[in-house]
Structure 1
Amino acid sequence: MRSLSLLFLFATVFDQFPQASAVRMLESSSLNTCQADSSITAALFNVVYTPDNNTLTYDISANSSVTGTFTVQLQVIAYGYTAMNKSIDPCQSILSSNFCPIQQTGPLVLRSAISLPPDLSSKIPSIAFMVPDLDGIVRIYIISSTGKSVACVEAELSNGQTVYQSGVGWATATIVGLALTASAIASGLGYSNTAAHVAADALSLFGFFQAQAMIGMTAITMPPIVEAWTQNFQWTMGIIPVGFMQSICTWYQRSTGGTPSGILSTLSTASVEVQKRSIRFANYVLSHLSKRDDSSGTWSTSSTIIRGIKRVGFRANIEETNIFMTGLIWFVSFILLITMVVLLFKGFCKIAAKYGWMQNYIFRDFRNGWTNVMRGILFRVASLLYVLIGFPQMCVLCLWELTERDSVAEAILAILVFLSMTGILGWSAWKVIQLARRSQRMHKSPAYILYSNPEVLHTWGFLYVQYRATAYFAIIPALIYIFVKAAFIGLGQYSGVLQAVALLVIEIAALLAASIIRPWMDKKTDTLNIAILSIHTLNAIFLLMFTSVFGQPPIINGVMGVIFFAYNALFAAVLLILLLIGSGFAILSKNPEVRYEPTRDDRGSFIKSHTCLNSELDGLAATARGDIKTEL
């Protein structure tokens, strides 16, 4: 019953906070201890306050070893700012019958709904119901007659509003997919410069989304709005929940000697604490002082603390032991899907040309030499997935899996996938460097072999077409950047400060290198990618601040979380708009090539698909290819 009084205390304070949906509410789904020797713990704590009908509904399973007469110190903290700090004498309040004194110890189970005073909702600022991802907690200290705190519990508040929306993930994925499709169509129509630019922009945008997702995977305790925002992009890391796939992952783990976790299946009986900025050092100490149950991943307080990659999986409704396999299955599935699409498109082109549905010159190279082109496309697509989707994603998940070891078979899979991907990409990058150096020695231009030979272009072009020909080596630092960044995220899940410092150093180094070398194909692409790297560096600075290593007031972190969301959302919106405009021009314009400046190299003179070229190297290119230049 004394726990019921705690409930009333939370209720009285559930009036400082927010929501803005059809049904206004304030809710909390966990009651967490906030000192190492707390005499009150809770396995389950679900409380919902709806101001429209002044009702408080609660479902609590708690345990207490406190008895006697005590004073209650009540704190309400919003965005790190203590909005209320009040001492309450339970003997002089509505709680006196159940809380003055506390007479019973042991387990308590409380489930009910009560009506609160009608004027309670008028005391709550209306903004509290509208700000998404509310960063607020109610903390209660139980003070004994000697002045010692014998228990500390806190409840995180939510108003049901969040910037994490599944529609954001679907929309961003669709736009990136449409842009890559537009690039393929432009390439098939002979607009190679347009295709290269649209593809480069799409992949830069995808890289930005993936970097946002990787921020969410760090073990850093971030403001709720940052966690929610970065969760929108976890699809880029293969964190996509599908019911039957989760069943397959669980079955595979059990079959290979692993023990699946059951966090999601026990939410009705146990609390899960998603570590965020509001849960500061006290809970960190508690998590390390409490004894862990290795079979379930929970602490003796019956509250599971999750962070980093596990936090991302939990928010996506994926059991922590299924995260690695989920990412791997999506990676393989995407490769198979692209293969099927190419085969179907080949069949369509053949039928369309036969029956006159499209002009004969359209996709002619694809249709006539489709076996070689198909092999090149599949290799390029598979390799593209390795670099842009697969390598960052699987590098993080494979290295993380080696620290988790969900089962022996999964650990072996992680090793094989990581070594094979790293080996293939390393060998491919070295092959490009060899070809470029040979071209430089023989023809005084690295673009000659890289672009005049269709087999080389189709097979290895994914590694260098976004760079200018003289910066063919840029793929090496790009791969190193991805690997080092992914390694710190995958292996550093137990040290948020280490991750923050490492990411800051990595991003600054990448920004400086890109600003000095400027390796991309033209000034526009250089500017876009340097701008993206600048945002990455700024994000890394914010992450370091979120660790509170500088001892700044907690409210600073709360405000910075809102700022982080604002400028990243604005930048993402600008990138999406630019990509949509570029894709529209690529598909709808009669001559989309006029929109783009020539690349900063002589690649255009060597690309075989061109039949009308205006460069002093045209003659050399025609001779090298063995064809005759004709005018349209």
Structure 2
Amino acid sequence: MLALFLLNLLFLLPARAREQALFTSSVTYCNPPETLLIQQFDVAYFPNNHSVAFNISAASVQANTSVTAHLLLNVYGLQPVNFTIDLCHILNGALCPLPMYNFVGADIIQLPSSANIQNKVPDIAFKIPDLEGFVQLVLTEVGTGTVKACVQSTLSNGWSTHQPAVTWFTGAVVLLCFFVTIFSSADSFKATSFLFLELFRLSQFIVASCLFSLNYPSAFRAFCLNFSWAWFLFPMSPQSPLQNAINHMRMKTGGDVLDSSGSAIEYVNRKLSPYNAFVANSAPVLLTKVREVQTVTNSSSNVLQAGLPIYVNSLGITTPNAFTTVFLCLLMASGIILSLLGLSLLATRYSDRLRSLIPSSVLRSRWRTRSFFIIPLVFLPVVTLACDQWTLHDSWLASLFAALCFASLCGVAAYRAFLTQRGQGPTDFRSTADTAILGDYKPGHSWFISLPIVFSWFTALLVAFGQGHDVVQLPLFMGLEVLSLAALLVYRPHIRRGDNIMSICLSLGRLVCIGLMMAFIQRIAVSAIPRTIIGLGISVVFSCGFLWLLFRFSVHIVHHHRNAGRFHFLKEHETREPSA
């Protein structure tokens, strides 16, 4: 009974959130259970009145077992609670050996003032988002030292840098900017497309920066989840129809389909979490709350590695499903775009008024020109996930789709680069509408159109084939950004001075963020609190860059329409004045 009470007490120690409470966000066995079985465990600690609420279903299943209980609380590497109790020396030996019974119950209890928990836990544990803390209870057999039960629970205070409202806002705003760019006038499309692509690239860069085999702080990883839409990945249930369909396809085509219930696919190796560095048993920890307690150890097959596997699983998508999920989402989006194109062509063909405003030939030319505008948007996520799909050696059909997408995108990108360098017939490339796809460049600098695609290609290779080699991935990733910054400083390719300044500032900001991410390399072993501060600082830099680009895009649209209206008025005035 005391072991169960300690189990309750442990998982609740820190707190403060919206309602100033700390609660269990996951529960796992850190060793295969022999003595203590847990079916459900929910605990919350309220510091205002020092009370604990719990709902537990557990059982002691092994007879004649005498144990000691070791209790440990770890918050950002600090261990305010770390002690061992011999259960044979308390309660007159009532728990020696452990009694055989089931325990099911829910209650709220007041903690004694002698516990002095409020002075043992730092205040930051109640306020900082994505708290890095856990509690552990280990029952060890007296005499033999054999571990009979090991249970760990992660803690949450209710705050997180991953907010659905932020995801919806950023995604909706960028989608609106996309439609404004696509339907903008020819004279505005160059500048508008340049600003939009910089905005979308930054969003994709934020996600890419969270896909390496680094020891990311929880707060930074959660922040990157806000921009998963930029990689055409959306939070979904592992039991959603889309995921079930992908699992069925993989099962029929040679894939190894694990349990799709979501109960064991979001575990993370504890050695990747510095706040767990002092735990002797380095078992994994669950990221998201589940109802079934799982057994996960270092030898378990459901342990996720740092980088892309943790990221996609945090969205409810198993690693082998990631590419196919993006592929199907883009396939559906392509169907919608083609349907809109067909409807617009039919409308201009059978409507005299629309035909007079926008001839069908002009409409087809505009759609053909701006269709290439999609390539830089999908290149990085599709190529990265396609390469990653090959490393999994899973479904042959998914691998075939990955190969086709990889070859198609690389082929189209190479074709565009060829046209950029050769020009199209006797007409210089800059004089065609296609030059607007990636911005307005100076004469002789149109090769900058292909530079982001080349860097995206190398980034995809680093993420997919460099997993587990963080000391290689991050320096090479920084080298790519150094080359990008150097090219911008030397050539200053854009016609407008403001565009050159903006591109240089964005590249410099990305380079600074990559440099700060060196603290996340596992071998450097930076302690938890400095790493968390660095992660939050990088998040602030990324957020400021996103808002700055969004502001510039809005100012450009307003300024362009004002000038267009003024120009239209002057033209009318000029035509009326002679007749007067």
- Return the offset for 1:195: 2.4
Q: Counterpart of 1:430?
A: 418
- Return the offset for 1:332: 2.1
- Return the offset for 1:305: 2.3
SS at match of 1:521: coil
Per-residue Cα deviation, 1:85-124 (whole angstroms, up to 9, x for no partner): 43243449988867x656489xx98653232215679837
Structure 1 residues 223-262: aligned runs within 5 Å: 223-241=217-235, 243-262=240-259
Cα distance in 2, alignment partners of residues 61 and 200 from structure 1: 62
Q: Does 1:166 align with 2:156?
A: no
2:70 to 69, 72, 76: 72
Q: Counterpart of 1:625?
A: none
Please tell me the residue identity of whatever aligns with 1:56: F
Structure 1 residues 89-100: aligned runs within 5 Å: 89-91=85-87
Per-residue Cα deviation, 1:16-53 (whole angstroms, up to 9, x for no partner): 233215x84422313363xx999999887743315287
Q: Does 1:393 align with 2:392?
A: no
Q: CA RMSD in A?
A: 4.2
TM-aligned CA distance change 1:573 to 1:24, over 3 Å: farther
- Return the offset for 1:471: 0.9
1:264 to 258, 261, 271: 261
SS at match of 2:75: strand
Q: Does 1:367 align with 2:359?
A: yes
1:380 to 356, 364, 370: 370
1:114 to 107, 118, 123: 107
**Aligned 8 A contact 2:388 2:464 in 1:** yes
- Return the offset for 1:2: 7.1
1:132 to 122, 129, 133: 129
**Aligned 8 A contact 2:131 2:157 in 1:** yes
Structure 1 residues 23-42: aligned runs within 5 Å: 24-31=21-28, 33=30
Cα distance in 2, alignment partners of residues 147 and 579 from structure 1: 69
Cα distance in 1, alignment partners of residues 64 and 485 from structure 2: 56
Q: Counterpart of 1:599?
A: none
Cα distance in 2, alignment partners of residues 377 and 25 from structure 1: 54
Q: Does 1:487 align with 2:461?
A: yes
Please tell me the residue identity of whatever aligns with 2:107: I
**Aligned 8 A contact 2:10 2:135 in 1:** yes
Please tell me the residue identity of whatever aligns with 1:114: D
- Return the offset for 1:297: 12
Please tell me the residue identity of whatever aligns with 1:421: L
Q: Counterpart of 1:291?
A: none
Q: Counterpart of 2:399?
A: 411
Please tell me the residue identity of whatever aligns with 1:216: C
- Return the offset for 1:523: 1.8
Q: Counterpart of 2:44?
A: 49
- Return the offset for 1:556: 1.6
Q: Counterpart of 2:289?
A: none
**Aligned 8 A contact 1:31 1:44 in 2:** no
TM-aligned CA distance change 1:162 to 1:353, over 3 Å: farther
Taking structure 2 as the reference length, the TM-score comes to: 0.80
Cα distance in 1, alignment partners of residues 209 and 57 from structure 2: 34
TM-aligned CA distance change 1:300 to 1:287, over 3 Å: closer
Q: Does 1:335 align with 2:321?
A: no
Taking structure 1 as the reference length, the TM-score comes to: 0.74
* Number of residue pairs the alignment of both structures matches: 548
Per-residue Cα deviation, 1:219-255 (whole angstroms, up to 9, x for no partner): 3221111111100111111212563322332232223
Q: Counterpart of 1:7?
A: 7
Q: Counterpart of 1:217?
A: 211
Cα distance in 2, alignment partners of residues 169 and 97 from structure 1: 55
SS at match of 1:571: helix
Q: Counterpart of 1:199?
A: 193
Which consecutive unaligned segments of at least 5 residues does structure 1 have?
Answer: 289-295, 440-447, 595-610, 612-630
Per-residue Cα deviation, 1:575-629 (whole angstroms, up to 9, x for no partner): 22332332333446545899xxxxxxxxxxxxxxxx9xxxxxxxxxxxxxxxxxx
- Return the offset for 1:571: 2.7
Q: Counterpart of 1:572?
A: 546
Cα distance in 1, alignment partners of residues 89 and 105 from structure 2: 21
SS at match of 1:469: coil
Q: Counterpart of 1:450?
A: 429
Q: Does 1:502 align with 2:476?
A: yes
SS at match of 1:75: strand
Cα distance in 2, alignment partners of residues 284 and 118 from structure 1: 28
